[in-house]
Structure 1
Amino acid sequence: MMAIPSIHMSMFFLVLLFFVTSILSRAIENQTSELDKSSRIRAQLEKINKPPIKTINSPDGDIIDCVLFHDQPAFDLPELKDQNITLEPPEWPVGYNISEDTSAGDENIQLWSASGEECPNGTVPILRTTEQHLLRASNMIGRKDGVGSGHEYAIAYVTGEQYFGARTDINIWDPITNRDEFSLAQIWVLSGTYENKNLNSIEAGWQVNNIYLENKDPRLFGYWTRDAYQTTGCYNTLCPGFVQVNKRITLGAAIKPISSYNGKQFILNVMVWKDPKSENWWLSIGSGILIGYWPSSLFTGLKSHADMMQFGGEIENFSQQGHTTTKMGSGHFPEEGFKKAAYFKNLNFVNSLNQLFTIPVSKLQKYVNRPNCYDIRIFFSKYFGSHFYYGGPGKNPKCP
């Protein structure tokens, strides 16, 4: 074997030393970064998870903390922190009537409270957040840009006027989703634009997502942003924002019952509107059940009014091998119709006088970016009012 000259040997060891040092340096940097990230998450968890007065263990694995009303995350906001709020109920929109078939709209919609459990007076239920919840939520929020790659839609929308609220009935499904994706049905109340980075959005409905891998049932959720999803906003109570007021229903917890294909349909009546007295944006479900509100001070454009409302389904598609198999709605196309396809019915808006009106079908526009994967069909009938069927299976022979 030929000997390596000493000068070459020295060069060899210098290169080797540099290589090993670089690897160790990167490893230390990565370890430091992970420690910093872990420290930030622990600090955030301490802020979110307030000391409970009572803890309720739900049969579906959720942990519900009953915290004092003024201790909930929303009151960490500087503009709310020192306010001594006397909570007054909002003014219901004129013309709002309890729907006759909001079969999933009573206070037993969530399993944790279905047995009669509720939080004591003066407290509100907050779904306990774990480190894994935060990690998954941060990944999702970074992708929840409304128009970004990977997002696919089947929505109906109205624009061109000033809107002060939206209301609809959404039937509840539990679409199969891939691990890193979500499927939802919701209302969007919007002001501004994504392109100008001034988009204000309030969103509410049901969602199956990867924040809660332990339980893939649909969950009641809310979301907000005031800068096009860049640095503000979050799901539910994962950051200061939404003010919870209900003792038996909380954002983030799973909802039941669920509609069945060609069987019984269960409805979630959702309304988001601006209270003319407080100017806060309230969320109600079911038969006039108030869940809570987003303070007007959170927003810029929505401090005044909305200029667009959207209704419909959205999924994430991050499949690397063809289209995702994540389903939207029932997982069936709209042409299958009632009891088979998912639907929104009784599409309403609230005007500047706090009056509720049906959205005329003639003013509804639709947006579908992958019609062979998910689609929408808009109709009007005496019983369903302005309504639409939407959704689809995702990957199929026409959507490979």
Structure 2
Amino acid sequence: MGGEFVLRKPRNGIKCRRFDRCNTMRQTETELFSEETRERRRGRRRINGSFFLEMIIFFRPSFSNFLFLSLFILSSSSSSVLTTETEYLSPRNQTLRPLEELNKLKAINQHLSKINKPSVKTIHSSDGDIIDCVLSHQQPAFDHPRLRGQKPLDPPERPSGHNSRGLRPKSFQLWRMEGETCPEGTVPIRRTKQEDILRANSVSAFGKKLRHFRRDTSSNGHEHAVGYVSGEKYFGAKASINVWAPQVQNQYEFSLSQIWIISGSFGNDLNTIEAGWQVSPELYGDNYPRFFTYWTNDAYQATGCYNLLCSGFVQTNNQIAIGAAISPSSSFKGGQFDITLLIWKDPKHGNWWLEFGSGILVGYWPSFLFTHLREHASMVQYGGEVVNSSPFGAHTSTQMGSGHFAEDGFTKASYFRNIQVVDWDNNLVPSPNLRVLADHPNCYDIQGGSNKAWGNYFYYGGPGKNPKCP
């Protein structure tokens, strides 16, 4: 996946892409101007002002493109990334600002060289993803000073009462639909491209959540419908999460369903571990539901990131690509699909492990990443979150869950079922005193319940903008 930056042939009519052609067109411009000047001096022909203006307008973009591409090629000479075309630059970046563009491209390429690691195999997914099979000890986690030179740990003891046996589907992510897999001793990592970073506000903001605080009504547009437990010491959580593909109104919003493991205050020292599925056009460039992880130890300020986009989470599995699309997803009044996630603290070493489905260990968050979570969690949350950017001054129509309210029930509303926590003695137990809360119930709501088949559960979600949610 390394290699030199390659300029591809454009798909649209940019007139000057090659160095020799640019020189030819500049020469043509000079010759035409000289010929016209000679004609005027000899009195043979009177120059038509509008014709001369048209010539300038015709040739000036070519010279600008030549200058821009010269800088573009210079900036790529130090790059180890695959490429993008100028069409990926946002309209804001189309204005010629050579130094600014050069510095931006250098920063992007330097960041890509850190997170895209050499691979022993590359898999192209039907959804456009490129999956790199990276040697386990070369994954981004081991760039961390505390992990440098180490290898992934062996699996820990599972919590008592956890049943890791069950049917394992052959594939539950799109990249594996053709039967491809990564070799033993490697981990599958979704390759980050230049256009992924260009969608972010900045290189430093790429792969991070905006800072926000749950239960604060002015929480920067983040809205929730969650079940939660608090007041005790918690050492993990488990739930089966219904997977949908909600509609997201614009690139700057997302919709997710996840488990939060939380400790500390909702201030600068908040520690969280998060895992679930999300639809995020800004992060991934599409509207597929994708499996994701997240962590922070300072309330989303400077630490942590999604997936493997920084050093932190250590992946141990060669079957699951974090950040890759989940398939299938549920359909309204049709088939239902859910994923079971278990997060728990290893009693022996103190690391927080993640399991997907029936006994598939994904990896772990080392305990040293955290402050409060080195000991235990003080709260566990389960549920949905959306970003409401209030487009055009109205509430967003971004959906949560299935896009239907909780009262619509099975096959219509989204759900969490078999909601449990891990206690101090590494036992999985039903979540005691599970409470439910929706920030804006006219936009997204939640209803809880309990039965023998599903244990503790709730339905949640909604359409966002509607007559009661203007």
Scaled by the length of structure 1, the TM-score of the pair is 0.87
- Runs of 4+ deviating beyond 6 Å: 27-30
What is the CA-CA distance between 1:32 and the residue it aligns to?
A: 4.1
1:51 aligns with 2:118: yes
After TM superposition, list the pairs within 5 Å mapping 1:2-13 onto structure 2.
none
Please tell me whether residue 302 in structure 1 is matched to residue 373 in structure 2.
Answer: yes
Separation in 2, partners of 1:213, 1:198: 29
Tell me if 1:258 matches 2:348.
no
Q: State the percentage of identical aligned residues.
A: 54
Aligned equivalents of 2:100, 2:236: Cα separation in 1: 43
Higher relative contact order (CA 8 A, sep 6+): 1
SS in 2 for 1:302: helix
Find the aligned partners of 1:222 and 1:372 in 2 and give their Cα distance: 29
In the alignment, is the contact (CA less than 8 A) between 1:330 and 1:342 conserved in 2? yes
From 422, 425, 428, the equivalent of 1:353 is 425
- 1:13 alignment counterpart: none
- Partners of 1:136 and 1:71 in 2: CA distance: 27
**Is this contact kept in 1: 2:211–2:301, CA < 8 A?**
no
Query: Structure 2 vs 1, CA of residues 107 and 281 (structure 1 numbering), >3 Å: closer, same or farther?
Result: farther
Q: Is the 8 A contact 2:294 2:306 kept in 1?
A: yes
User: Which digits, 9 at most, give the CA deviation of each residue in 1:347-373, with x for residues without a partner?
Assistant: 10001211100013xx12222111100
Cα offsets for 1:97-154 (capped at 9, x unmatched): 2486x7xx63511111232211112111110011232344526725252442210100
Q: Which position in structure 2 is the counterpart of 1:342?
A: 414
Looking at structure 1, the residues matched to 130 and 252 of structure 2 have their Cα atoms a distance apart, in angstroms, of: 23
Q: Given the alignment of the two structures, is residue 364 of structure 1 paired with residue 434 of structure 2, yes or no?
A: yes
Q: Tell me how large the CA RMSD over aligned residues is.
A: 2.0
Give me the whole-angstrom Cα distance separating, in 2, the residues matched to 1:67 and 1:139: 22
How far apart, CA to CA, are the structure 2 residues paired with 1:378 and 1:122?
42
Shift in alpha-carbon separation, 1:44–1:136, aligned structure 2, 3 A: same
User: How big is each residue's C-alpha offset from its partner over 1:218-272, in whole Å with a ceiling of 9 and x where there is no partner?
Assistant: 0000000000000000000111111111111111000011111111111110111
* 1:72 match: 139
> What number of residue pairs does the alignment pair up?
367
Instruction: Give the residue type in structure 1 aligned to 2:329.
Output: I
Query: Which has the higher mean CA deviation after the structures are superposed, 332-341 or 316-325?
Result: 316-325
CA–CA distance in 2 between the matches of 1:278 and 1:213? 34
Q: Does 1:122 align with 2:185?
A: yes
CA distance in 2, matches of 1:99, 1:260: 27
1:159-198 alignment runs, 5 A limit: 159-178=230-249, 179-195=251-267, 197-198=268-269
CA distance in 2 between partners of 1:87 and 1:386 (Å): 33
State the partner residue of 1:373. Answer: 443
Counterparts of 2:126 and 2:199, CA distance in 1: 23
Name the counterpart of 2:158.
92
Mapped contact 2:422–2:429 kept (Cα < 8 A):
yes
Aligned to 1:286: 357
Letter in 1 for 2:466: N
Aligned residue type for 1:337:
G
Amino acid of the structure 2 residue aligned with 1:64:
I
Query: Are 1:189 and 1:308, in contact at CA under 8 Å, matched by a contact in 2?
Result: yes
Distance in 2 separating the partners of 1:99 and 1:388: 25
Aligned to 1:155: 226
Q: Structure 1 residue 201 and structure 2 residue 268: aligned?
A: no
- For the pair shown, the structure with the greater C-alpha radius of gyration is 2
User: For 1:382, which of 452, 464, 467 is the aligned residue?
Assistant: 452
Deviation string for 1:180-213 (max 9, x for gaps)?
A: 2100000000111222x00010000000002355
Greater strand content: 1
Q: Which residue of 127, 134, 139 maps to 1:60?
A: 127
The 2-side partners of 1:294 and 1:107 are apart by 26
Letter aligned with residue 181 of structure 1 = E
Structure 1 residues 166 and 31, CA gap change in structure 2 (3 angstroms): farther
C-alpha distance in 2 between matches for 1:306 and 1:245: 24
1:399 corresponds in structure 2 to 469
Partners of 2:185 and 2:382 in 1: CA distance:
34
Unaligned runs of 5+ in 1: 1-26
Please tell me the residue identity of whatever aligns with 1:116: G
In 1, Cα distance between equivalents of 2:398 and 2:266: 25
1:37-48 pair list within 5 angstroms: 37-48=104-115
Partners of 2:155 and 2:309 lie apart in 1 by 24
Structure 1 residues 262 and 86, CA, compared in 2 at 3 Å: closer, same or farther?
closer
CA contact (8 A) 1:220 1:255 kept: yes
Q: What does residue 314 of structure 1 align with?
A: 385
| Residue 35 of structure 1: how far off its partner (Å) | 3.5
Match runs of 1:267-286 below 5 Å: 267-286=338-357
Structure 2 counterpart of 1:200, which letter? N
Q: For residue 113 of structure 1, what is the amino acid of its counterpart?
A: R
Unaligned 5+ runs, structure 2: 1-92
Cα distance in 1 between the residues matched to 2:382 and 2:411: 19
SS in structure 1 of the partner of residue 113 of structure 2: helix
Report how far residue 42 of structure 1 moved: 1.3
Q: Normalising by structure 2, report the TM-score.
A: 0.75
- 1:320 Cα deviation (Å)? 2.8
